[in-house]
Amino acid sequence: MILALDQGSTKTAAALVSEDGTILGEAEAGGSCYFIDGVETAFSEIFFAAEFASKKAKRPLSGITKVYAGIAGANWPDEIAMLTKQLVKKFSAKKVNVCNDCVIALRGGTEKEDAIVLCAGTGFNGAVKTRGVIRHVFNNYVAAPDQGAGGLGNRALQAVFENYLGIRERTSLTRKLLEYYEYEEVDQLLLGRDRGTLKHPLHTSIRVILDAARENDKVAVDVITDFARSLARYAAGSVRKYSLTGKDIDIVLSGGVFKADIPLLVKIITEELNRISPQARIVNAEFEPVVGAALLGVAEESHSREPIEKCKKSARELGLVRKIHRL
């Protein structure tokens, strides 16, 4: 069997896949990032998800011959080597392939040889693929204000602070964010952010921002618009750097932010990218990233289309598709 893994800050997903491509069982555990939480914590979540998946599949973990893992924070060769070694030790698999989790998200959205993924969840990452080969993962090059829902939350706080200074116009974000974080004064909100004592993580405030935007609060709309344009720059830069202008490419959107129903976000990104690459197709990934890991693993084991189609079919039957929902 193949063990497909997807570990991000929000959740850890595991799927056991047979040689013919059928997903036998899947399960989830808590999210983690080894770089932040430590290897032991991250791998305990991985093992829990894998063990639960094996119980649902009614197959022992000893039957795993290959592991294909997309892991948050797997950015540099020495880190990937360390993670590979840990997975070999944990599962005694003959083959282990580790990549950044945005790479499996890319495969969950397209099979095209030339493609880019923008993966916005709690944080943000992306990758570019040309001629079927991953050329670059954005990893630590991503600016802090672009870090997914966390970056969007920070942008909204900054807008509130700028309103307080008289730089921006009045906004309902001030009242809404003060209520959300349970403060009475903007000074308290600023200290809470800077001292790391906010009662809720920054990424969770996305609901508050969307609520204000849906009420046509101009500042909230501007925050989302600026965020979208900034994310689009990463794909635009890859289009220019790898000479993809005018080519039939897919730009895949994945991650929790793009699962939320935010038409403005997708609209702005599409407009920005079609301006420099009119033939680019902007697609919201169909499958959860763990399915992308499964598809990559299956493709390496077979040159036939049949296992790939079986993998997709079983993924749909198990509900491993990304559903757009309103926050």
pLDDT tens per residue across all 327 residues of the chain: 999 999 998 999 999 999 899 999 999 999 999 999 999 999 999 999 999 999 999 999 999 999 999 999 999 999 999 999 999 999 999 999 999 999 999 999 999 999 999 999 999 999 999 999 999 999 889 999 999 999 999 999 999 999 999 999 999 999 999 999 999 999 999 999 999 999 999 999 999 999 999 999 999 999 999 999 999 999 999 999 999 999 999 999 999 999 999 999 999 999 999 999 999 999 999 999 999 999 999 998 777 899 999 999 999 999 999 998 888
- Greatest distance between any 2 Cα atoms in the chain: 64
Q: Give residue 300's pLDDT.
A: 87
Closest CA to 45 of 34, 55, 36, 54: 34
Q: 251 is in which domain, residue-wise?
A: 110-285
Same-domain check for residues 302 and 205? no
Q: Judge whether 261 lies within some domain.
A: yes
Same-domain check for residues 220 and 311? no
Cα 120 to Cα 150: distance, rounded to the nearest angstrom: 10
Q: Give residue 301's pLDDT.
A: 79
- Helix, strand, coil abundance in the chain, percent, nearest 5: 50, 20, 30
Q: Give residue 326's pLDDT.
A: 86
> What are the residue ranges of helices labelled H in 215-305?
218-241, 256-259, 263-276, 289-301
Q: Give residue 209's pLDDT.
A: 98
CATH number at residue 291: 3.30.420.40
Q: Judge whether 191 lies within some domain.
A: yes
Q: Judge whether 324 lies within some domain.
A: no
Q: Judge whether 128 lies within some domain.
A: yes
CA angle 221, 223, 224 (to 5 degrees): 65
Which residue is listed with tokens 């309902």? 172
Q: Give residue 76's pLDDT.
A: 92
Q: Judge whether 322 lies within some domain.
A: no
Same-domain check for residues 279 and 221? yes
Domains contained in the chain, number: 2
Same-domain check for residues 267 and 294? no
Using CB atoms within 10 A of its CB, is residue 317 exposed (0-12), middle (13-18) or buried (19+)?
exposed
Same-domain check for residues 202 and 238? yes
Q: Give residue 303's pLDDT.
A: 79
Quick one: tokens of 157?
A: 């706080």
What DSSP assignment string belongs to 211-222? HHHHTT-HHHHH
Q: Judge whether 159 lies within some domain.
A: yes
First to last CA, the chain: 37
